[in-house]
Every structure is written in structure tokens, then in C-alpha cells.
Amino acid sequence: MQAKLPDTNQAWIYYRHMGVQSISEKDYSSAIAAINEMIALFPNEYRIEINTEKYKQTIREKLVLVCTKCNTEINYNDIKIMKLQNLGVVRLVTGTDFNDGWYCTSCHKINKLQNTRVIKEQKGLPFYHKIIPEPPIYHGISDRKGWHNRMVKWFYDSLEEVDHQLGKYREEYEGLEKLEEISGSQDAN
């Protein structure tokens, strides 16, 4: 099995050390290169994608509205907010002409947004999705301190994702090695 799978351990150690050292020395280009090199060492099924938009969608909290009529949970992004006209006494008491409302696609009834229970579904930390954002962009001299902090956060968040994937890769590799040992001992018998 070792002949089939190149020994990447030394390269990971080298690039990890290089990246940590580079980020501490504010050599951002080398820190970015170290992350990219570690990602490049993975086979395709473990490779981490670098895509800011996908990353933001993956970590974004999800809002769910609960219909006041049928208790169905509906993703907030799947509804359209509409203006509901207040009539008579409601208009007089509230002093407003309109309320926000939404249409339940399950029971086909209209709900007032102010009476709707909202559930925030957040991802638990840490979470790993084989995706990291692109490195932060430098916006000029006035952004120097803020950019450094964003760069350090990006580097260590990215390194955490790389380390997680490395752990998964090693775990599967060890399983394949054991499987090969078992099949080799059975062949010898």
C-alpha cells in the first residue's frame, strides 16, 4: 500500500511549519502558499475547495418560520414578505396602515410576521465542510491592522480545516492498510 500512496507526511510537516512561521513573521504570501501547498497534497476526494461565496452560504445561519396556523416550519429564504393592510379597529389601535405578512405554502394561509415564531439554526463549532474562503484582500494603508487580524484568522481557520481533512485521510489510509494486511495474511494461508 505504501508504494501506491506517496509519503506526504514530511511535506505536510514542512508546509505547516512554514505557514505558522510565515504568518508570525507577517509574510502573508508564504502563509497563503503554505495553505495552498498542503491542500494540493490531498487526493481529489479530500481536497479542500477555496471559494468565499460557497463558504459564506455554508456557515450562514438558517432562519425558519413556524406557521401560526399549521405549525409547519418553512425556510425564511423560501417566503416572500408582503404588506397586509390593517383595517378598522386594528388600524386605530396600532396607528399603522400595514403589517408585514407571509403566505404558508403548506396550509395556504397568511401569517402576520410579528406573530410568527422564528427559529435560528446555527452550525455548531467547530464544523468542517471541505471549503475555506479566499484569503482576505488588502484595502490599502488604512486597512493594515484590520487586514493583519483577518489574515491571521483566515490562516488558522484554514489550517484547522486542512488538519481535519488530514486526520480523515490518515484514518482512511490506516483502515486500508489494515485491510491489506488481513487480505495478505489470508492469501498466504
Query: Which amino acid appears at position 156 of this protein?
Result: Y
What's the pLDDT at 1?
40
Residue 74 and residue 115 in one domain: yes
At 181 the pLDDT is 57
Quote the cell numbers at residue 72: 409547519
Residue in 16, 49, 75 with CA at minimum distance from that of residue 128: 49
Q: Is the peptide bond before 126 cis (omega within 30 degrees of 0)?
A: yes
In this structure, is residue 77 part of a structural domain? yes
What pLDDT does residue 60 have? 73
Q: Which domain holds residue 105?
A: 62-121
Distance CA 43, CA 45 (A): 6
Q: Which amino acid is at 66?
A: V
**Residue 84 to residues 24, 74, 87, 151, 168, Cα–Cα distance (Å):** 56, 19, 9, 46, 52
**pLDDT for res 178:** 54
All residue ranges of the chain with pLDDT < 50 are 1-4, 179, 189
Contacts of residues 41-45 at CB distance under 8 Å and 24 or more positions apart, as own/partner, are 41/8, 41/11, 41/12, 41/15, 42/165, 42/166, 42/169, 43/169
Residue 155 lies in a domain: yes
Q: Are residues 77 and 51 in the same domain?
A: no
What is the tally of structural domains in the chain? 2
Whether residue 2 is contained in a domain is answered as no
* pLDDT at residue 109, rounded to an integer: 92
Write down the pLDDT at residue 4.
43
Instruction: Specify whether 114 is located in the same domain as 161.
Output: no
Is the residue at 132 inside a domain? no
Q: What is the reported pTM?
A: 0.62
